[in-house]
Each structure stands twice: as structure tokens, then as C-alpha cells.
Amino acid sequence: MDILQQLYGPFFDLNNWKTVVTSGEDWMIILSLVLIECILSVDNAIVLAAQTQKLPDKKQQEKSLFYGLWGAYLFRFIFVGIGAYLIHIWEIKVLGALYLAYLAINHFYRMKNPKQKANKKKKERKPILPLFWSVVVSIEMMDIVFSIDSVLASLAVSPNPVIVLIGGMVGILAMRGIAEVIMKLMEIVPELETTAYGLIGLIAIKLFLTIPMIDIEIPNAIFGLIVLGSIAGTFVYHKIKN
């Protein structure tokens, strides 16, 4: 109980909340954290948009993001409390990178081998979860993985967990908006799905390189340019193709 009080006590301190809400300086920090969250979450938004495309209609896609949003809030609350310890959980980054690599490789394999997929259809095992909930679980897994960098970066800006929590919550909502924009673009330009999975493979490499034994960080500015360049190139390809 003492450990829980030490980790999460500041969240239930009304004076702490009052100080943050009434402080113009703290709101400037929160705005900075929201921007950091959006920048760090570009790759997360790409993964979310690609995952939701597995669902058959827009209503289910939006619903999966809604459930994912509340799950992301819960995990962010937990992670901010134990933020000081997250730097040691490099194994989560490895598992996340392997999972992302699996998503990308599996997508391109199925593109190249559609007949094998059809032939093996009868032998496929019944999935443990319905498609909708499997997508929601995938979204939550990615939120857990990508929350690590966001929380650590935010705690470096402000040690006050309430400020970090507010900034993270607003940032997550903004990131979900980015994911929905990407989803709409995928409807207009179907080739963006292939581009998204190519970027997911790159994200897997990017995430794996950040583990302590390697410690190579691809600057967010460079990665952002790669994302924008890939999307622009896909639009050009789509226009030429049609």
C-alpha cells in the first residue's frame, strides 16, 4: 500500500490539481506535452489506422478506436505512476518490435500468396476472439508499447504526474484524430494500406534500435519526413495508376 501511495498519491491530491489548473505556466507545459505526444504518436497512429482496416465497416472501425481510447487512458494513468521504472522495461520494446514486424511480414506474405490463403482456409483454427475484439486488443498492445517513449519524454519535461497525465490524455485524443484522418485517406487511396504496412516494418526497426544494448534513436523529424514522403509518393503512384 505504501508503494501505491507513493506512486499514485499525487493523482488524488486536490491541492495539486488546483495548482495545475490555475497556473498559466503549467498549462504552457501541458501544451508542450500535447505537442510531444502528437509527434511521438505519428507511428502509433499509422499502426492503429492499418489495424482498423481489418474491420468490415466504418462503424466498427470508429468503435474500435473508441474502446482503444479508453484503454489508452487507463494504461497512461498506470504508466505515469510507474514512469520512473519504465526505462528498465526494455523487453516490452523488443516484444512490440517483433509484433510490428510480424504484422508487416504477414501482410505482404498474404499479398503475395492469396491462393495459399484460400487453400488453407478450411484448416485454419477458429480464432480465440472475434475479429472486432482482436483488433481492440491489438490497439491496446500498441498503446502499451508506444506509451513508454511518450511517458518518459513527458516526465523529462515535468516531474509533476498530474501535468504529465493531463498532457498525455489530451495528446492521446489528438492522436486518435490523426488515426481517423489516415483511415479516411486509406478509403480514398487504397494503396495507402500497403504503404502503412511498409511503415509498420520501419517502425519495428525504429523501436528495436532504441533498446539499451543498441541505443540508436532515429530523430522524429527524419521519421516524420519519411512518413510524409511515403504518403506523398503513394498519392502520386495512385494518380499515375488511375
Do the domain assignments include residue 186? yes
Are the C-beta atoms of residues 30 and 114 closer than 8 Å to each other? Answer: no
The pLDDT tens digits of the residues spanning 177-208 come to 777 777 778 888 888 888 888 888 887 888 78
pLDDT at 6: 62
Distance CA 52, CA 182 (A): 11
1 within a domain of the structure (yes/no): no
Domain count, the chain: 1
8 occurs within a structural domain: no
Domain that residue 69 falls in: 24-114+128-241
The grid coordinates listed for 49 are 489506422
**Lookup result for grid cell 495545475:** 20
pLDDT in tens, 27-40: 888 887 776 676 56
Give the model confidence (pLDDT) of 86-129 as tens digits.
555 678 778 878 887 888 898 899 888 876 544 555 555 666 77
Assigned domain for 223 exists: yes
Residues 31 and 25 sit within 8 Å (Cβ to Cβ): no
**Grid cell digits, residue 149:** 517513449
User: Is 70 a domain residue?
Assistant: yes
Q: Decide: pTM greater than 0.85.
A: no
- Is residue 4 a part of any domain in this protein? no
- Does 63 reside within a domain? yes
Question: Is residue 119 in some structural domain?
Answer: no
Structure-model confidence comparison of residues 185 and 82, the more confident one: 185
Q: Are 54 and 148 in contact (CB under 8 A)?
A: no
> Which distant-in-sequence residues (6+ apart) come within 8 Å of 91 by Cβ?
none
